[in-house]
Amino acid sequence: MSQSDKVGTPSGVKRVRKAVLPAAGLGTRFLPATKAQPKEMLSVVDKPQIQYVVEECVASGIEHVIIVTGKGKNSIEDHFDYNPTLERFLEEKGKKDLAGMVRKISDMVQVSYTRQKEPLGLGHAVLVAKDLVGDEPFAVLLGDVLIPGENPATKQLIQVYQQTGLGAIAVEEVPKEKTHLYGIVDGHAAPQAPFGERLLRIRELVEKPKPENAPSNLAITGRYVLPPEIFDCLERTKPGAGNEIQLTDAMKILAKEHGLWALIYEGISYDAGEKLGFLKATVELALQNPEFGGAFRNYLKTLKL
- Please report, as ranges, the residues that interact with ligand UTP according to CB under 6 A: 22-30, 40, 68, 116, 119-122, 124-125, 142-144, 273
Q: Nearest approach, Cβ of 244 to ligand UTP (angstroms)?
A: 6
Interatomic CA distance for residues 57 and 135, integer angstroms? 19
Q: Locate the DSSP E strands across the chain.
A: 18-22, 43-44, 47-48, 64-69, 110-115, 138-141, 145-146, 167-173, 183-189, 199-207, 218-226, 260-264, 270-271
Q: Nearest approach, Cβ of 38 to ligand UTP (angstroms)?
A: 8
Q: Nearest approach, Cβ of 31 to ligand UTP (angstroms)?
A: 8
Residue type (1 letter), 127: L
**Residue nearest ligand UTP (C-beta atom):** 25
Interatomic CA distance for residues 240 and 48, integer angstroms? 31
Nearer to ligand UTP by C-beta: 165 or 222?
222
Q: Nearest approach, Cβ of 290 to ligand UTP (angstroms)?
A: 28
Nearest to 24 by CA among 133, 109, 106, 114: 114
Nearer to ligand UTP by C-beta: 21 or 185?
21
Q: Nearest approach, Cβ of 265 to ligand UTP (angstroms)?
A: 18
Nearer to ligand UTP by C-beta: 28 or 151?
28
Nearer to ligand UTP by C-beta: 124 or 155?
124
Nearest to 14 by CA among 186, 175, 146, 133: 133
Nearer to ligand UTP by C-beta: 30 or 195?
30
Interatomic CA distance for residues 167 and 230, integer angstroms? 9
